[in-house]
Amino acid sequence: MYLLEISRKGRWPVNGAELLMELLLEQGVDRIFGYPGAAVLHIYDALLTYGGHIRHVTTAHEQGACHAADGGARLTGKTGVVLATSGPGATNLVTGIAAAYMDSSPLVAITGGVRTGLIGRDSFQEVYIAGITMPITKHNFVVRHVDELPDVIRAAFRIAAEGRPGPVLVDIPKDISIADVQAPAVRQSAAPQHPKSRAKIDQAALNQAAQYINQAKRPAIYFGGGANLSGAGDALRALCAKARSPAAHSLMAAGVLRCDDPYNLGLLGMHGKASANQAAQKADALLIVGARLSDRVVTDPNMFAPQAAKIQIDIDPAEINKNLPADISIIGDARQVLTELLPLVEEKNRQEWLDKIAAWRALDWTPEDDDSALRPHQILRAAGDLAGEGAVYVTDVGQHQLWAAQYARHVRPRSFITSGGLGAMGFGYGAAIGAAMSAPGRPIVHITGDGSFHMNLNEASTAVSYNIPVITLIFNNRVLGMVRQWQTACCAGRRSETELARATDYLKLAEGFGLPAFRCHALAGFKIAFEQALHIGGPCWIECIIDKEEQVYGGF
């Protein structure tokens, strides 16, 4: 696509803001989340001209805008775009950028800056946002001349999408957005696509990995968010079946294998299943695919899978041997590596190992049903039954997040969206809005707790203004459940500031926002409310009253 509006109008010069719009169109951008302000005044003015091509969604807060851009990116794989003004507008993006960085989500954050002549003078709403975000972006740019814009924007989208995805920040001083651009400054450009590179995989490492797996009596696989991002599900499933190897996953990889797949052991680690942790600990070969191996899984590197030859696959060389020494490492895209590894793996009948796994699975803790109350596992299973396999689950952070990881019906990749690495409590509502706008027709279920919800319920105004069909399930136990649970375990039962004195009436609050809401105390009422919510066609809330003593149980 050549510069669309400029070529259509046949006029020069244009200003930097109009050029920015053209460059965004060139990159295939059709939606921006953001919030206007003085330093981006002319960028927003240009949006009026380009409104037929680029839709802008004004959120209640810049952090919500960033999470929304991120949520859409996680669901589709397409780079999200967020726009904010200088100073507090830019700093309000920081949590959202960090969340995207920690979970490898492709994002381009565009901020306005003070005029170049005012930089360094403590000008009104001046912050050095490039410096602030340097540790939480793949790269960032400060545009110093309007002629740099084409190269900078194209590079930003390329960097955000290539290799291990992540956020890139572009800071555009106000005078750059106003400056005239002459035709010779703008070079071509057909709309670039960013295909995953098919880099050459180390054949010797592949052969060695296959040898370890073929010689193993007790192989196991641990897969993480990299398997999700690369679309490695089919190759992973084929490898499990051929090697007769069980597999467990990280929080970020729910849905890569169906939750009911016989080879899928479920969540590994602190909040995972005992059988999954047993399989990893007793394995003699462990294939690690696109996983961070964070402290929530590897609490002690010397004690994790001590009997296993460890084979690590990751697209990011920095992850190799970072948290756990690997016997063999393979750098590359997870789907590509697994596809090339599969023919080298021999079919084996490891029935004794699978029987042992089955015996462990039979002993996994299972919560008891109680239809007269609302129990977290029953809420999530009922929601899954009613919403169907097309549902997308988006969570905030806390007990509800882990219950959702454990009990929601994860049957499709990129359908469980959560802040895994950063653990940002205010992530959910914005991310759900972004996901809903990227997947019209699919049920979007926003799962939150009363603690997290107080951090982002302002985005209800966004959902209502744009009539975005997000169903919000509020797990209300009137405590900060996860922190309270840890206080109980680690502080001799003493609890500090986790018993909430809030008396928020969510039904009245919803009425003020202009959306329907339900309050449920038992499972039958929840099912009725959820069925109605599916047919509302806009945002709604379902408050689920649960007992504050409900716990997240793990497998350690």
Tell me if 1 sits within 8 A of 7, measured CB to CB.
Answer: no
DSSP letter for 502, please. Answer: -
**Separation of alpha carbons 502 and 398, rounded Å:** 18
Same domain, 218 and 272: yes
CA–CA distance, 446 with 444 (Å, rounded to integer): 6
What is the distance between the alpha carbons of residues 100 and 108, in angstroms, rounded to a whole number? 10
Question: Would you list the DSSP string of 166-200?
Answer: -EEEEEEEHHHHHSEE-GGG----PPPP-PPP-PP
CATH of the domain at 57: 3.40.50.970
Q: Which amino acid is at 225?
A: G
Query: Tokens 């059709």, residue?
Result: 30
CB atoms within 10 A of CB 154: 16
Looking at the fold, whether 509 and 471 belong to one and the same domain comes out as: yes
CA–CA distance, 376 with 12 (Å, rounded to integer) = 61
Residue 498's pLDDT is 87
Collapsed DSSP state (helix, strand, coil) of residue 293: coil
- Range(s) of the domain holding residue 252: 203-362
Q: Alpha helices, DSSP H only, in 51-178? A: 62-76, 88-91, 94-102, 129-133, 149-161, 174-178
Q: Which amino acid is at 177?
A: S
* Distance in angstroms between the alpha carbons of the first and the last residue of the chain: 54
DSSP reduced 3-state for 337: helix
- The last residue of one of the domains, among 338, 362, 386, is 362
User: What backbone torsions phi and psi does residue 56 show, to the nearest 5 degrees?
Assistant: -105, 135
Which residues does the annotation mark as catalytic? 62, 124-125, 174, 482
Residue 406 lies in a domain: yes
Q: What tokens appear for 37 in the block?
A: 């302000």
Q: Examine the domain organization and report whether 139 and 178 are in the same domain.
A: yes
Task: Specify whether the CB–CB gap between 77 and 71 falls below 8 A.
Answer: no
In this structure, the answer to whether residues 181 and 274 fall within a common structural domain is no
**Is 194 within a domain?**
no
CA distance 19 to 198: 33
170 and 231 fall within a common domain: no
Strands 180-181 and 167-173: unpaired
Residues 121 and 156 in one domain: yes
CA 443 to CA 259: how far, in whole Å?
Answer: 18
Torsion, Cα of 460, 463, 469, 470 (10° steps): -40
Query: Could you please report the per-residue DSSP string of 247-278?
Result: EEE-GGGTTSS-TT-TTEEEE-STTS-HHHHH
* Alpha-carbon gap, residue 130 to 309, rounded angstroms: 42
Which phi and psi (to 5°) does residue 203 adopt? -65, -35
Angle at which helix 351-362 crosses helix 274-282, to 10 degrees, equals 150
Q: Looking at the domain assignment, is residue 370 inside a domain?
A: no
Our count of domains for the chain comes to 3
Tokens of 476: 């209300």
Which pTM was predicted? 0.94
My answer on whether 343 and 207 are in the same domain is: yes
Same domain, 277 and 323: yes
- Among residues 362, 394, 419, which one ends one of the domains? 362
pLDDT at 529: 98
Q: Angle, nearest 10°, between helix axes 149-161 and 16-26? A: 30
Nearest-angstrom CA–CA distance, 394 and 450: 15
Shared-domain flag, residues 331 and 453: no
CATH code of residue 355:
3.40.50.1220
Alpha carbons within 13 angstroms on the beta-carbon side of residue 160 total 30
Q: What was the pLDDT predicted at 8?
A: 47
Report pLDDT for 1. Answer: 37
How many CA atoms, within 13 angstroms, populate the side-chain half-sphere of residue 244? 18
Q: Has residue 190 been placed in a domain?
A: no
Q: Which residue has 């460890």 as its token pair?
A: 310
DSSP bridge pairs for 107: 80, 167
Pairing of strands 470-476, 517-520: unpaired
Q: Which residues of the chain have pLDDT under 70?
A: 1-13, 118, 183-198, 555-556
- Whole-angstrom Cα distance, residue 540 to residue 377? 21
pLDDT of residue 190: 46
Same-domain status, 358 and 223: yes
Query: Do 338 and 208 fall into the same domain?
Result: yes
